[in-house]
Structure 1
Amino acid sequence: MTTFLGLDLAVWWFLVVGAVFTGYAVLDGFDLGAGAIHMFFKREESRRVALNAIGPVWDGNEVWLVIGGGTLFAGFPVVYGTVFSAFYVPFMLFLVALIFRAISIEFRSKEKMGWWHKMWDWSYSVASIVVALSLGVVLGNIIQGLPIGADREFHGNWLSFLNPYALLVGLTTVALFAQHGAVYLLLKTENRIFTRLTLIVRQTLRVFTGLYLLLSVATLWYVPHMLRVFLAQPWLFAVPLLTLGLVLSIGRLVRRRRYFPAFLCSGSIAAMLLLTVAAGLFPVLVRSTLNPAWSLTIYNAASSHKSLGIMLTIAAIGIPLVATYTGFVFWVFRGKVRLDDASY
């Protein structure tokens, strides 16, 4: 088995894929969250400010989704083929929503009519919610497992995706992104919309906390295999406990007007939740509900060692460059939003 720094290449690719998708959840999560709460702003100026707060970064954040798909295909092509085939309908809905979200942002300011602005405001908000919900539903089904046969093919139908646990994960994802987006907008706004956002942060945080606790209980019931993993390694319980601590910290930080630490805590929650999932599934990538022996793991679904080694070198160069560029964009466009003639 080929190794690097004491870990075999399949484990490294598991970490790379997880890190990239976590980056997408943290970065595009606040974009989607800002869209989810967009219709809570009643004034035209407030909606424009909210749009321009994400204007310089939203399309760059979506690059992480493309990288995530690329790393999954490069490292685990069997998983890529099986999952994308299984989730064909949800992914099509996801892509349509992504398209409408993008054109809503770009088209809104092209005309001055009030009905035109309202139409694209609703399109933007609904599309953002659908994207977040779709991601959560897909994640919920991955956590539970899929009916994968010995042929590594999906043996189910798309209606089975709409099960109670997956829908609960989807709603929790929407709530998580909504509070993440609200905290981000606190960093970028002032005056009337800022006052409105302080209320929205508290409301979204309450909703997310309630759904997170409900989801934690539901996971014990619907996903017993994850519980067995945590019971076998009790130190893993530190991850969900740390997540709960981060949730409780956000409200206190916002009350103290420490908005940037609150934003870091909010993003860390998304990372911790995905880390919890990864810890509960490893080394399985897609668990088969038909027969655990047919599950797709980081070993039986990985590319050849030579491919993993070459692609790991490329990833080690490319991903830090994208991360650096992302940080540069955030630095350039730091500070409060000011509307001008070039604004959305």
Structure 2
Amino acid sequence: MATFLGLDYPTWWFLVVGAVFTGYAILDGFDLGAGALHLFFKKDESRRIALNAIGPVWDGNEVWLVIGGGALFAGFPEVYATIFSAFYIPFMLFLTVLILRAIAIEFRSKETMTWWRKSWDIIYSISSITIAVLLGVVLGNIMQGIPIDKDFEYQGGFWNLLNPYSIITGVTVLALFMMHGATYLIMKTESRLNAKLRVLAKNTSRFFVISYITLTMATLIYLPQTTDKFRENPYLFTIPVLTILTIINTRRLLEKGVYFKAFLSSALTSALLL
């Protein structure tokens, strides 16, 4: 098999796909997290400021998802076909809430009526939460494997995808994005909203730590073969250790008021989880 810089082409494609989806988790993760936190802001002004903070970047961040899908198709067409066939219903739901979220962001400010804005706020926040959980559910199923036949056709149903492990993964991804989103908004706000976000950042980091520990325990239960990988490659133990350290470091930097570095530390947490 042909190689480039000592690696074969499938390995290069694997690295490219991994890098692109990691970039998506980092970049779209913070604006999805901001959306998940949206209803925690009680005042219309606070919600408007939070939306303005992601306004210049939210649509561009979603481009990474398109690039990731294209890279997966180019590098691993059979994997692409199997995944999109198996997760057809989740992906259709994902696209629906993605569209609703975009509409909510654009339409919210078109009218000043309280009911109008609150309705779009609810749609925006629920859509953001749903997207994060769906991404986690897909990731959880990929991690534990899905039943396919010799022709790479998915042999399960939609409800098979909603298993305990995938749901725990979905909640963990949501917690991660909420922590990441709070860190980003802290960097973009000031005064009373900034103080509220610092409290939210502490609470969401606790939520993520609990979810991460739960996911780790679930992995040992549902995927016991992973312990073999850790025994064969002891350096893998550095990943969960570094993940916890980056969370601690994020909170430390937030307390010191070094917000950009705190955001980078939160981004590193996202990369390590993937």
Q: TM-score range by the shorter chain?
A: over 0.9
Matched, 1:69 2:69: yes
In structure 2, what is the Cα distance between the partners aligned to 1:261 and 1:30? 15
Matched, 1:114 2:98: no
Partner of 2:213: 213
In structure 2, what is the Cα distance between the partners aligned to 1:86 and 1:182? 33
Normalised TM-score (structure 1)? 0.79
TM superposition shift of 1:223: 1.1
Matched, 1:232 2:244: no
Partner of 2:169: 169
Partner of 1:181: 181
Partner of 1:147: 147
In structure 2, what is the Cα distance between the partners aligned to 1:148 and 1:24? 27
Higher mean alpha-carbon deviation, 237-246 vs 125-134, is at 237-246
Count of residue pairs the alignment pairs up: 274
TM-superposition CA deviations, 1:53-100 (whole Å, max 9, x none): 000000000000000000000100100000000001111111111001
TM-superposition CA deviations, 1:4-52 (whole Å, max 9, x none): 0000011000000000000000000000000000000011110000000
In structure 2, what is the Cα distance between the partners aligned to 1:9 and 1:225? 27
In structure 1, what is the Cα distance between the partners aligned to 2:169 and 2:73? 25
Partner of 1:52: 52
Partner of 1:89: 89
Partner of 1:2: 2
SS in 2 for 1:11: helix
RMSD, aligned CA:
0.7
In structure 2, what is the Cα distance between the partners aligned to 1:262 and 1:192? 19
Partner of 1:310: none
In structure 2, what is the Cα distance between the partners aligned to 1:173 and 1:152? 27
TM superposition shift of 1:219: 0.7
TM superposition shift of 1:226: 2.2
TM-superposition CA deviations, 1:124-144 (whole Å, max 9, x none): 000000000000000000001
In structure 1, what is the Cα distance between the partners aligned to 2:268 and 2:148? 32
SS in 2 for 1:151: coil
In structure 2, what is the Cα distance between the partners aligned to 1:38 and 1:143? 30
Moved >4 Å (runs of 4+)? none
TM superposition shift of 1:165: 0.7
TM-superposition CA deviations, 1:258-307 (whole Å, max 9, x none): 11111111111111111xxxxxxxxxxxxxxxxxxxxxxxxxxxxxxxxx
Q: Which one has the largest radius of gyration?
A: 1
In structure 1, what is the Cα distance between the partners aligned to 2:240 and 2:72? 26
Partner of 2:273: 273
In structure 1, what is the Cα distance between the partners aligned to 2:54 and 2:197? 15
In structure 2, what is the Cα distance between the partners aligned to 1:236 and 1:175? 23
Partner of 2:262: 262
TM-superposition CA deviations, 1:177-232 (whole Å, max 9, x none): 00100000000001121111011111111111111111111111111222211211
More helix by share: 2
Normalised TM-score (structure 2)? 0.99
| Percentage of identical aligned residues | 60
In structure 2, what is the Cα distance between the partners aligned to 1:221 and 1:29? 28
Paired amino acid for 1:107: F
In structure 1, what is the Cα distance between the partners aligned to 2:193 and 2:83? 41
